[in-house]
Amino acid sequence: QVRLVESGGDSVQVGGSLRLSCTASGLVGRRYCMGWFRQRPGKDRETVAISTQAGSTMYADSVKGRFTISRDGMQTTLYLQMTNLKPDDTSTYYCAGQPQTGIGCPTVGYRYTDWGQGTRVSVSS
């Protein structure tokens, strides 16, 4: 069973930076799509960034040029480097995973089977 644990959420000011981490256990060497999603109270879940096992990435338009998704060499930790943070980035950020069966990875949350508990990011002006 895969377990995902996020960390790194905090309160920052506009223009600040944060790095979120997601540590995965139980992968047992299989190819695995991983991604970051976020959700604010009363709002739909939003895809932030996706990474394939090989390191191909996809970003939401709202974070392109500001956020970077990456994995460590062991492919067990997923990162989200967030820079130039804006108030609209305030949200609970979730790490999610899904066994990778093809070349690419799903970009919508409902296709992901494994989820972390979330980490809170708050950006204030």
Q: Phi/psi class of residue 100: alpha, beta or left (left: φ > 0; alpha: ψ in -120 to 50)?
A: beta
User: What pLDDT does residue 1 have?
Assistant: 87
User: What pLDDT does residue 30 have?
Assistant: 79
| 38: DSSP letter | E
Residue 23 · residue 4 · CB < 8 Å: yes
Distance of CA 107 to the CA centre of its chain: 11
Averaged pLDDT, 92-96: 98
What is the C-alpha to C-alpha distance for residues 67 and 69, in angstroms, rounded to an integer? 7
User: What pLDDT does residue 99 have?
Assistant: 93
How many CB atoms neighbour CB 104 within 10 A? 13
User: What pLDDT does residue 93 have?
Assistant: 98
